[in-house]
Amino acid sequence: MRQTPRAPGVPAIRYHLGLVCARQGKSEEARRELEGALAAPPFAEAAEARKAPEALK
C-alpha cells in the first residue's frame, strides 16, 4: 500500500497521483488517492476530481 508521504495534506497532489495510478491500472490506489483529495478542503481541480472515481468503476 502506497502512502503519500511528501504531501498528504495537499489535495491537488493526491488528485494528480490518483490520475497517474488510474492510468497505470491501479484502480484501488487511484480511488484511495482521489477520495483522499476530495475529503480535504476545496482545491482548483475539485470538480474534475469528483468525476474521476466514477470512471474507475
- Find the mean pLDDT for residues 13-26: 93
Nearest to 21 by CA among 10, 9, 37: 37
Give the model's pLDDT for residue 44.
Answer: 92
Percentage of the chain with pLDDT > 70?
Answer: 84
Q: CA-CA distance, 8 to 48, in Å (whole number)?
A: 19
CB proximity list for 11: less than 8 A, separation 6 or greater: 36, 37, 38, 40, 41, 43, 46, 49
Percentage of the chain with pLDDT > 90?
Answer: 58
Q: Buried b vs exposed e over 27-47: b needs ≥16 C-beta within 10 Å? A: eebbbbbbebbbebeebeeee
Does 5 score more than 60 pLDDT? no
Residue ranges of domains in the chain: 11-55
- How confident is residue 43, by pLDDT bands cut at 50, 70 and 90? very high
Q: Share the mean pLDDT of the chain.
A: 85
